Structures are given as C-alpha cells and as structure tokens.
Structure 1
Amino acid sequence: MTSFDDFVTTATPQPGATATDVLRSATVAYLARYKGLSRMHTESDLRIYLSWCAERQLEPLTAKRAQVELYVRWLQEVRRFRPSTVSRRLSVVAGFYRTCVIDGILEHSPAEHVRRPNVPPESPTLGLSHSQFEALLSAARASANPNDFALVAMLGLLGLRIFEATGADIGDLGEEHGHRVLRVVGKGTRIVLLPLPPAVGRAIDRAIGDRTAGPILLNTRGNRMDRHVATRA
C-alpha cells in the first residue's frame, strides 16, 4: 500500500472520527479485496476518482448519482478515454461504493444506477503492421528519454503486457543457462523467465544507466513508470 499512502492508512476510525478517517478506512477495506497487480491497478483507478473529487472539494462519501455521472462525462469528454477504459474505471468506483454499503458506511451506492458506456464485444484495436512497428521503434530510439525505447522494446519485442513492463525491476534481470533473462510476473502472479534479445537488453541497459536497484522504467520524476504514463508515451 505504499503507493497509496496519500489516501489511505491501516488505521480503523474511532468514535468521533473525521470524514477523512472514515474515507481512509473505507478505501483500505475495498483494496483489501484484491492482491498483487490487481490491487495495484485498482488503487490506481480509484486514485483518479478520489483526486477528481478533491479537485472539486467533493467528499466522496457524500457524492450523489449525478456527481458520479459528471465524473464519467469528464472521463469521456475531457480525458477522452475509450469506452472500455471508462467502463473499467467506473466499475472500480462502483465496487468501492458497493463495499461501503456492505460495511455499513453508506445506505445506498451513488454509482448503482449510473449509465455505463457501450463497450464493443470485440476490441477495435488493430495490431501494427511491420512498417508501422519499425517506425515506432525508430521514433522511440530517437527519443531523448531512454525509457521510451526500453518501453517499446519490452512491449513490442518481448510481447509483454503494459503492467508487466512497468512492474519489472532491475533485480528481475539475471542469467539462466548462459542467457540473459528477465523474470516477469504475469496474470495470477504467474512467474516466467524470458530470454532477452540483444536489442531489448541494450534498450534496458540504457534505461537503467548506473542504477543497481529499483524499477527498470522510470517516469520523468524518477519514480516507477505506471501504465497511465506508459500509455501516454
């Protein structure tokens, strides 16, 4: 939970607790339903909603259905996220409020009757052609930020999912039977060792530089790159 310290603590609110204490307790209770990468992704999506509320001086536990609808509209029209992304982030908010109802913090969920965007049954995303991927690699290689090239190489040449690439640490690099490998934690905490092609190894080495520990991919602030930053890149 260290990545969520701005919002939560493990303290249980005592009688006379403030609204902030109750919100922290409710958030801890909701995130406790998840583990591993699922928990990390859920807290990342919930962080966006709590930040949206804070910017509008809105107490999340007093929000009404219309305000959750406005959040959805903001995701669609201001942030311009795809329907699948909007639907996933709304599901996180709905799950949070549903847990609040289960725990007796709220009587009703303000997200219960919020309209969900229509998500196509089949993904509209098409894979890149060979020439398009070559162009993407060239653009990433020319970037002043070595993390861009390492990200594209890990996604395109290793076939990693975005959360697998951003979750990789320097300590996950090693050797196995004479090959340089990367230890990857996939879905369901499944662990695999992937041999690193020389091009990917060089890209990773450029991103790491002189560092000996920590995440492989960094954002511009020197912290771990998350999937949102990676998607924008």
Structure 2
Amino acid sequence: MSVVPRQAGVVAVGGGAEQVTEAWLANRRLSEHTRVAYRRDVAGWLGWCAGRELDPLRASFLDVNAYARELESRVDPRSGRRLSAATVARKLSGLSSWYDFLVKLRAVAANPVGGADRPYVSRDHSATVGLSAEQVDALLAAAQADEGPAALRHRAMVALLADLGLRVGELVGLDVGDVGAERGHRTVRFVGKGGRARRRVLTAAAGAALDAYLGVRPAGADGPLFVTASGARVDRHAVFRLVRRLARDAGIAGWQRLSPHSLRHAFATSARAEGVALEDVQDAMGHADPRTTRRYDRDRHNLDRDPAYTLAAARVRRAGF
C-alpha cells in the first residue's frame, strides 16, 4: 500500500501496506518496541479487512466497531484469557493514529476510528502487578545472592529498575556513553517515551552495582551498556525473565506475573509513601500527565494519607495544644 499522487494534490493509497505504515512510523517519535507493536496492530486490522474483502480506505466506524468487538472476544494464547480492555484500546489507538496520518495525506476523508465505540479504560487502574517496598528489597537481595558470569550485570540492571523506575526499553537502550556526571551527581542519560531526552541520577547503590559490572563488561569501551557474553545488546525479554527468576528465588508470590514494569510501579508507590511530591515523581518517571503518575501510586487510597489528618493536626498546633 503505497502513497501515490492524485489530482489537485490529493493522494491515494495503493500497493504495499508496509510502505504506508513505515512512512507513518517515520513521521513519529517512537521507541522501537512501540514501532513493533504499531506495525503488528495495523497488520492485524489489514488482515481482518482482507478476510472480509473490505477496502480499509472505505472502512466506516461500524467496521471498526465490529473489529473491536472481535478483539474483545479473542483469547491471548500466552495468558489463556481474553484480551483486556486496555489492550483493545491500545490497538485501536495505534490504528487511529495510522488513519490520522492518511487523513493528513488526503488518502481518506475522515478517521473511521474516531467515531468508533472504544472500550472504557479507567485512568485510575493499571493491570501491572505491583510490588511492595519489602518485596523490592527481597528481589534486590536475591540479585545480590545471584551467582554466575552474568551476576554483576543482573545486579546492575535490577538496581537501575528499582532505584530509578526506568522503563525496560530505557534500560536496555542505554549505551556506555550515557553514563556520566553532572554538578556532583552521577547520572544516566537516555531517550524516554515520546523521543524526549532525559537524565536521572544514580543512587550510591545503583552506581556501585554499575561500576562493579563495568569492571567485567565483556565488550569494548563504548556501545551498548548491558551486553551478553557475545557483546550483543541485552533485549527486553531477557530482563523479563531475570525479574521473574529473581522474584521466584526471593519467594515472592505471583512471580510468574511480574515484569520489569512492576518495579516501576513500586518506585512510584514507595516514593509517594515516603512523602515525595507528586510533581517530583511525575518528572522522575517522565509522565506528561500527573494522572498517569497517580495510577502508578498503588498506595494512593491508603486512609493513613487522608489530608483530613494533616489539617486536623495543623489545627491542634494553632490552638497551642
């Protein structure tokens, strides 16, 4: 499906779908993981259309609704459960962006996903399995007790996930040159979600774990920070397996459902529980919307944090009691 000129500056879509999708992705600042997901989501829609001899350029919101309802009835082969509302909504969101691109190219008059009935996804809920601060401590202890040629690498990766709350893509995307110092702080620089350049400080523990790993890192002086024995960049799947194995070793219940993102959730929850301001946690996590940060805070409904207690204590102080 290629984009070709038509009359009066209007464009049509025909040929290879891959060309249109790649042009759309090249027009956006996305991580490689997101690009892979978007390619898969658009390919799924085009396959669905082909199976019904439906021209995707003539699809209406009714067709998108039918596709969404079919997605909601599908079973994820990995989990054995139906696709969640969040997963369906994400697929439709990517598809909507694809059609927005076609609208700008004047290949279609309107975005059919815009009028579709998308599943409701609460902004106050996340399906990620979280960890308590004590469970994070136990997981870090398991990493410390880990043995083998990759043990130091494992400790450094888990320390960065736990102490900085990095996304797994941010972690595996780090290069040696991203580690540095700034105004007395040891730092790491990386490209966050949305293509935004970001920097974070290294805690003493994370810095020590990273230094120990760099002392035995098998590759050259530059290139990927976390590498395999052959010098290849560690991929996100290896980090998923590592987190689950260490959680199992630490005796954490439900270790099979944990992910590197569980540590990111724990970072937000623990930071808020320790009194870190919401805007500071938001900045650290790279969230554009504070509501996203609040969703990561698993302890936000704790009655101990009700501001009524703070106001009452202040009233007592004013009264001189």
Same fold (TM over 0.5): yes
Q: Larger C-alpha radius of gyration, 1 or 2?
A: 2
Q: 1:26 to 1:118 in 2, by over 3 A?
A: same
Which structure would you say has the larger RCO, counting Cα contacts within 8 Å and 6 or more residues apart? 2
Asked whether 1:95 is paired with 2:97, we answer yes
Which of 160, 163, 181 matches 1:154? 160
Q: Aligned equivalents of 1:229 and 1:50: distance in 2? A: 27
Is the contact made by 1:42 and 1:92 (CA closer than 8 Å) also made in structure 2?
no
Deviation at 1:90, TM superposition (A): 2.1
Which one is further off, 183-192 or 84-93? 183-192
Is the contact made by 2:180 and 2:187 (CA closer than 8 Å) also made in structure 1?
yes
Partner of 1:3: none
Q: Aligned equivalents of 2:235 and 2:180: distance in 1? A: 21
Q: Aligned equivalents of 1:51 and 1:151: distance in 2? A: 33
Q: How many residues end up aligned between the 2 structures?
A: 219
Partner of 1:27: 21
Is the contact made by 2:86 and 2:121 (CA closer than 8 Å) also made in structure 1?
yes
- Superposed, 1:63-212 pairs within 5 Å as 64-65=63-64, 66-67=66-67, 69-71=69-71, 73-74=73-74, 77-78=76-77, 82-106=84-108, 109=111, 111-124=113-126, 128-140=131-143, 142=146, 149-176=155-182, 180-186=186-192, 189-203=196-210, 206=213, 209-212=217-220
**Unpaired segments ≥5 residues, structure 2:** 7-12, 241-257, 261-321
Deviation at 1:44, TM superposition (A): 3.0
Is the contact made by 1:168 and 1:184 (CA closer than 8 Å) also made in structure 2?
yes
Is the contact made by 2:89 and 2:119 (CA closer than 8 Å) also made in structure 1?
yes
Q: Aligned equivalents of 1:55 and 1:229: distance in 2? A: 32
Amino acid at match of 1:46: Y
Q: Aligned equivalents of 1:113 and 1:227: distance in 2? A: 36
The percentage of counterpart residues that share the same residue type is: 27
Q: 1:122 to 1:111 in 2, by over 3 A?
A: same
Q: CA RMSD in A?
A: 4.6
Is the contact made by 2:189 and 2:197 (CA closer than 8 Å) also made in structure 1?
no
Q: SS of the counterpart of 2:125? A: coil
Which of 221, 224, 230 matches 1:215? 224
TM-score of the two chains, using structure 2 as the length reference: 0.50
Amino acid at match of 1:19: G
Q: SS of the counterpart of 1:93? A: helix
Amino acid at match of 2:134: S
Is the contact made by 1:169 and 1:216 (CA closer than 8 Å) also made in structure 2?
yes
